[in-house]
Chain A
Amino acid sequence: MRYIRPSSLEDAVGLLANASGKAAILAGGSDLLVRMKGGFIEPDVIIDIKAIDALGRIIENDDGFVIGAAVPCAVLGENTALRNAWPGVVEGARLIGSKQVQGRCTIVGNLCNASPAADSVPALVAAGARALVRGPAGSRTIAVETIPVGPGKTSLAPGEIIEAILLDKRQRHSGDAYQRFTPRTEMDIAVVSAAVNLTLNDQGVVEKARVALGAAAPTVLLVEEAADILVGSRVDDGALERLAEACSAACRPIDDKRGTVEFRKKVAGVLAKRVALTAYQRAGQK
């Protein structure tokens, strides 16, 4: 097994493309090392991307935010501008593992681990976040929801690496929120989760909405019919009830030791209501 720590993205992409055996990218390592120690994977090459300066930064520009692939989740929470613009994205990232884990783990790692229960992904999907992908054939930008294609599987081509997550510049009267259900309050894996992202008009009516559910299907679900219910509403009780029903109906979860289908469907709806209300309140504050 070889461990390599390139200092440029070009080198990283080259190493990845030319790796003869299985290669793995190491950022925080909070998934990779666990999987290696558990004997689930045995990469021939480990490419540590933390020495690539550009990947360790959060940049705010005219288009919004560029979050480098090696930025630990704890750092997201320390960025006031990001926290104010995308509080739901930040709260998802800061529910992963524990304080200690958040000091290492990254949202790109969380995305590429492709767990349906990943805490940072529903809020990214609801936010309409895009991933900047670099590969042997050049760069491309794709919606984050297209990256995981099933538990543990991504749509990334061999040799491709996610360079950064892009979040749009925040429009006025916008807010997002994320919540998950876990039996305890930390160091846990979502049984089911929900994220809502809203933009209101000046009258407080929802103009745009995105609703995403986690651990409710093999990948994070973007529930358009639920978003349609919110659009045009003031997130009143009636809309919330219909939202909950739509979310419950959209779920395609499994029965497992962490929760049953019935429970996940019910709680997906409950959480969607709660995050919709929080997102609406946050949107009203701006």
Chain B
Amino acid sequence: MNINTPIEEREFKIVGKSVKRDDVLEKVTGEAEYTGDVKLAGMLHGKIKRAAIAHARIKSIDVSKALAYPGVKAVLTHENVPRVLHYGSPHPRSASCTKDQYILDDKVRFWGEGVAAVAAISEEIADEALDLIEVEYEALPAVFEPEDAALPGAPLIHDVGPGGNLVLDPVRVNRGDVEAGFAQADFILEGTFSGGRPHPAYMEPNVCIADWDGSNKLTFWTSTQTSFMVRGILAEVLGLPLTKVRVLVDHMGGGFGAKQDCFQHEFLCALLAKETRRPVKMEFTRHETFVAGRARHPCKVWLKQGFKNDGTLVARDMKLVYDSGAYGSHGPGVTIVGTTAATSLYRCENVRLEGRCVYTNTPINGAFRGYGVVQSYYALDIQMDEAAERLGMDPADLKLKNVVRAGDIAPSGHPIVGHGLEICLQHGIDVLDWKSLRNRDRTPDPKRPHIRKGWGIGCEMHGSSAYPGIKEQGNATVKVNEDGTVTLLTGAAGLGTGAHTALAQIVAEELGVRFEDVGVIHGDTDVVPWDIGAFASHTTYLVGTAAKMAATKVRASVLERAAMKLQVKADELDLSEGKIFVTAEPGRFMSVAEAMGPSRGIPAANIVANGTYEPTKSYSFAAHFTEVHVDTETGIVEVKRVVPVHDIGRVIHPIAAQGQIEGGIQQGIGHTLTEDYVIDKKTGRSLNAGLVDYKMPLSMDMPDIETIILEAAPDPGGPWGAKGVGEDPIIAIGPSIANAIYDAIGVRFHHYPITPEDILKALREKGA
């Protein structure tokens, strides 16, 4: 079902307030338990032997020395693990992912791929044993760039899929008549764009612990965004019923989308534990989070658009090629979402899009905040600036003229209900006095003539669910306890976003109890209702609505119970701040505890309700206004100030929403200026798989961010109109920086990251 009723207007008591998050005390005191903190009696440590070759057939693998090494309890290779072709991502049967992986194969497809696993009594021994495993490879020709992989006769990385190293058949979207559109155009812009390989670099490295009990049941702790999906795929691959797999995840140190794959080490950990009959822990090193984690798909974009002299966009022709790395993971989903996103943002009736996703012998790219859209909107938004320049228009005016509006068909294929981009842009223009900014001096400091200042705008829109790629379902169970407190059971993971706090706020608001009286139980697949996972900016929108629905039901039951005790009809009662009172006679009241509790001859009430919600999707919007300072002598770009204006519908927890926006901006600054996971194009070896040479901006690099959140376009599908916010900020910041750099120094960049070397080289060429 989809909720399409008007949004209820009410005075909020808890929603919209930055209540104290339920997890902060635990986290700042170090009490919060993460997967890596779990220690079980007799626990072994697992490590993975990784290939130092990018494409090869394993001729032989000799584990005898490793097995004989004191302290080693088990060694697994492709010869003794189940050979089950499985999805890389645990969203089986969705359009998002592809079935191309084995737990271990006799083939290596990227440098760093696991070829064997060891369990030993300590991490050190396991590590040492890895060196004792002797692997003989037959090297195969390798390809490291999608262009090379797509050439006829290129070495094939997989036997499955449509062939030609394609992960899926090309994604094609056609609307209107592109050729007719170009024929009407007064001018045409054409350009190629490219994006690097930024890595999510979550704080908590991937980690899991597997423990089998005497009934052959697997208990599996893992840092995942998708615990039920992990349960499902583990059960499928290991041949177990769901009752025999229990997945646990409490706190997480981030995921940013990448922790929604089911990783090779997770299967291996479960198998090592099974083999040894002892609990096994596997924890990535930081190096492994790069080589065996998931990064954003590098992308090449060709974009051609036709414009009228009044700024009207009449045709858009776009081709995108995403580099999947050695496995499909989320390549299909990313390609579909990233490609179809280009139907929108700036209105155009005649659109022809083609998205491809290609295997290469490089580490796997997967789901990551911005999911294919970062790449496509970077190109769209920069070319929009170029069009403005060609027209002699202020880019703000051109963007305002063309941004998506009410009734336009969204990338998902349905008309947008709440549309807020126009108002975000206009609001930013007004508060910054954009027109006067455009006219200011670019080198205002005569003592530092080498510093040039510029401002740029980046726009974005992003859906608050994975629909239509995945028809989603959100679930919640709400129980009212006999002391009047309330327990919410949810499968939604807490990546660190504050999602559980927002869900508790929604339940407290709807039910009419205090926020402090709602407890949240999460992260145990044996206990909480099924959950699709925390991704696609959807937890508040999807699970929030399910929680609200469950709260609506228990509220009615609580009022029924109170009505019996107060000897009135339930519809004569109201419930607020934990107090049930007769609406017409507020002096007659009882607490929820009194209603719920036992009295003579009446046992305590058992009130439980479920909410299930299956939405389509809403869209959130943002316009980022960014000031950069470019040092024309060293090429360093400093992002000085960002004014992000977001429409996310109803705000549940303002500080948490602001935190999402600031964090996304910081991450996006890194991706645009300094971060790129570099693979050697001769060997496939990782060149900077670690935080010394993968340059994330740190706190000292953070600009002033003046977040503005508008509740301009609430979507009736979310709780009181709430929409997503998780992914939006990282999409808009990139083009805003690239456009600001142009404003500062008059040089256009069509790629990211834009490095100091790029800046100096471009300035030199421009001067010459």
Task: Report the Cα distance A188→B691, complex, angstroms.
Answer: 10
CB neighbours of B339 from chain A (8 A): none
Closest-by-CB residue of B relative to A187 is B698
Q: Does A184 contact B (CB under 8 A)?
A: yes
- Assess A183 versus B688: contact at CB under 8 Å? Given A266-B760, A267-B634, A270-B634: no
One digit per residue, 1 when the CB lies within 8 angstroms of any chain A CB and 0 when it does not, for chain B 608-645 equals: 00000000000000000000000001111000000000
One digit per residue, 1 when the CB lies within 8 angstroms of any chain B CB and 0 when it does not, for chain A 166-202 equals: 0000000000000001011111110000000000000
Interface residues of B in 682-703 (CB under 8 A from A): 687-688, 692-693, 695-698, 700-701
CB neighbours of A188 from chain B (8 A): 695
B700 and A186 contacting across the interface, CB-CB below 8 Å: yes
A257 and B693 contacting across the interface, CB-CB below 8 Å: yes
Interface of A is mostly: loop
Closest-by-CB residue of B relative to A191 is B756
Find B693's partner among A181, A258, A260, A271 (CB 8 Å cutoff). Answer: A258
B756 and A185 contacting across the interface, CB-CB below 8 Å: no
Task: Report the Cα distance A188→B636, complex, angstroms.
Answer: 14
Q: Output the least CB separation between A164 and chain B (Å).
A: 30
Closest-by-CB residue of A relative to B670 is A184
- Assess A183 versus B695: contact at CB under 8 Å? Given A257-B687, A267-B634, A270-B634: yes
What's the interface size class on A, roughly? 10 to 19
Task: Report the Cα distance A65→B173, complex, angstroms.
Answer: 73
Closest-by-CB residue of A relative to B699 is A186
- Assess A185 versus B692: contact at CB under 8 Å? Given A259-B757, A266-B760, A267-B634: no
Q: Output the least CB separation between A40 and chain B (Å).
A: 13
Interface of B is mostly: loop
CB neighbours of A267 from chain B (8 A): 633-635, 756
Q: Does A263 contact B (CB under 8 A)?
A: yes
A-B contact count (CB 8 A): 44
A183 and B674 contacting across the interface, CB-CB below 8 Å: yes
Q: Does B18 contact A (CB under 8 A)?
A: no
Q: Output the least CB separation between A102 and chain B (Å).
A: 14
Interface residues of B in 649-708 (CB under 8 A from A): 673-674, 678, 687-688, 692-693, 695-698, 700-701
- Assess A263 versus B760: contact at CB under 8 Å? Given A181-B634, A257-B678: yes
Task: Report the Cα distance A267→B633, complex, angstroms.
Answer: 7
Find B757's partner among A185, A186, A187, A260 (CB 8 Å cutoff). Answer: A260
Q: Output the least CB separation between A10 and chain B (Å).
A: 35
Q: Output the least CB separation between B285 and chain A (Å).
A: 10
Task: Report the Cα distance A246→B547, complex, angstroms.
Answer: 69
Interface size on B, residues (CB 8 A): 21
CB neighbours of B673 from chain A (8 A): 183
Q: Does B755 contact A (CB under 8 A)?
A: yes
Find B698's partner among A186, A257, A263 (CB 8 Å cutoff). Answer: A186
CB neighbours of B633 from chain A (8 A): 267, 270
Q: Output the least CB separation between B450 and chain A (Å).
A: 8
CB neighbours of A185 from chain B (8 A): 698, 700-701
CB neighbours of B674 from chain A (8 A): 183-184
Closest-by-CB residue of A relative to B680 is A257
CB neighbours of A183 from chain B (8 A): 636, 673-674, 695, 755-756
- Assess A263 versus B756: contact at CB under 8 Å? Given A183-B674, A257-B687, A270-B633: yes
B695 and A263 contacting across the interface, CB-CB below 8 Å: no
Q: Output the least CB separation between A61 and chain B (Å).
A: 36
Task: Report the Cα distance A78→B2, complex, angstroms.
Answer: 64
CB neighbours of B700 from chain A (8 A): 184-186
Q: Output the least CB separation between B638 and chain A (Å).
A: 9
Interface residues of A in 234-281 (CB under 8 A from B): 257-260, 263, 266-267, 270-271
Task: Report the Cα distance A258→B755, complex, angstroms.
Answer: 11
Task: Report the Cα distance A266→B760, complex, angstroms.
Answer: 9
Task: Report the Cα distance A258→B695, complex, angstroms.
Answer: 10
Task: Report the Cα distance A260→B636, complex, angstroms.
Answer: 15
Task: Report the Cα distance A257→B692, complex, angstroms.
Answer: 11
CB neighbours of B678 from chain A (8 A): 257
Most buried by A among B633, B688, B697: B633
Task: Report the Cα distance A166→B695, complex, angstroms.
Answer: 35
Task: Report the Cα distance A223→B483, complex, angstroms.
Answer: 79
Find B636's partner among A181, A186, A189, A258 (CB 8 Å cutoff). Answer: A181
Task: Report the Cα distance A257→B673, complex, angstroms.
Answer: 15
Closest-by-CB residue of A relative to B692 is A189
- Assess A263 versus B688: contact at CB under 8 Å? Given A184-B701, A270-B633: no
**Contacts A/B (CB < 8 Å), 27 sampled:** A181-B634, A181-B756, A183-B695, A183-B755, A183-B756, A184-B674, A184-B695, A184-B696, A184-B698, A184-B700, A185-B698, A186-B698, A186-B700, A186-B701, A188-B695, A189-B692, A257-B678, A257-B687, A257-B693, A260-B757, A263-B635, A263-B757, A263-B760, A267-B635, A267-B756, A270-B633, A271-B634
Task: State the 10 A-B residue pairs at the shortest beta-carbon distance, nearest first.
Answer: A270-B633, A185-B700, A183-B674, A186-B700, A183-B695, A263-B757, A184-B701, A267-B634, A257-B687, A185-B701
Report A's interface with B, CB cutoff 8 A. Answer: 181, 183-189, 257-260, 263, 266-267, 270-271
* 20 more CB-based (< 8 A) A-B contacts, given A185-B701, A189-B692, A263-B757: A181-B756, A183-B636, A183-B673, A184-B674, A184-B696, A184-B697, A184-B698, A184-B701, A185-B698, A188-B695, A257-B678, A257-B687, A257-B693, A258-B693, A263-B760, A267-B633, A267-B634, A267-B756, A270-B633, A271-B634
